[in-house]
Amino acid sequence: MFPPTIKKGVIMSQQFTACVSGGLTGVGTAYSTSKRASVSVSFSLRSYFLSNLKSIQLDISNRSGSSTPTTVSVQISSDENGDEIILPDTSATISAGVTTALSGGAVIAVDTVLYSASETLYIFVKGNSGTMDIDSVTLNVENN
């Protein structure tokens, strides 16, 4: 049927994937400005970013150390130094890969509204022990 009917109240889902050339290698047990990913979010016609963050998905590899990481923690900031926190420390258990136990992933269920006047969000990552590499971070958001 043309033209298409647009219904009010439709929720639009988006994904923003933060990729760092070569990934984040050697992520340890503390947040660090040298171990952060950034993602550019579009304001469209607004002068701010306002969306409902549903979840954060992390692809993890090379878990190592005397005690391999079993949990991953994330916080999101609107500045590159990690001082203007818009999502405080939140964590999830790392699920090991089926054939490669040192690889795996985690999904952090969040369900909160993120507001930022900056178009770039900075994602800081740490583990509970040892070190790991973060291959990608994906933010799953819904916009009303």
Segment 89-114, tens digit of pLDDT: 999 999 999 999 899 999 999 988 88
Widest CA span in the chain: 63
Q: What was the pLDDT predicted at 35? A: 87
Q: What was the pLDDT predicted at 22? A: 62
Q: What is the pLDDT of residues 11-59, one digit of tens each?
A: 455 666 665 556 788 999 999 998 888 887 765 555 567 778 889 999 9
Distance CA 102, CA 95 (A): 10
Residue with tokens 């203007």: 84
Residue 9 has pLDDT above 50, yes or no: no
Predicted TM-score (pTM) of the model is 0.81
Q: What was the pLDDT predicted at 113? A: 87
**Strand 131-143 with 12-18, pairing:** antiparallel
Distance CA 92, CA 104 (A): 12
Residue with tokens 């909160």: 112
Task: Provide the residue ranges of all domains of the chain, joining segments of one domain with +.
Answer: 21-143
Fold of 21-143: Jelly Rolls (2.60.120)
What residues have CB less than 8 Å from 115, skipping those under 6 apart? 48, 49, 50, 86
Q: What was the pLDDT predicted at 117? A: 84
Q: What is the pLDDT of residues 110-141, one digit of tens each?
A: 988 888 888 888 999 999 999 999 998 888 88
- pLDDT band for position 4 (50/70/90)? very low
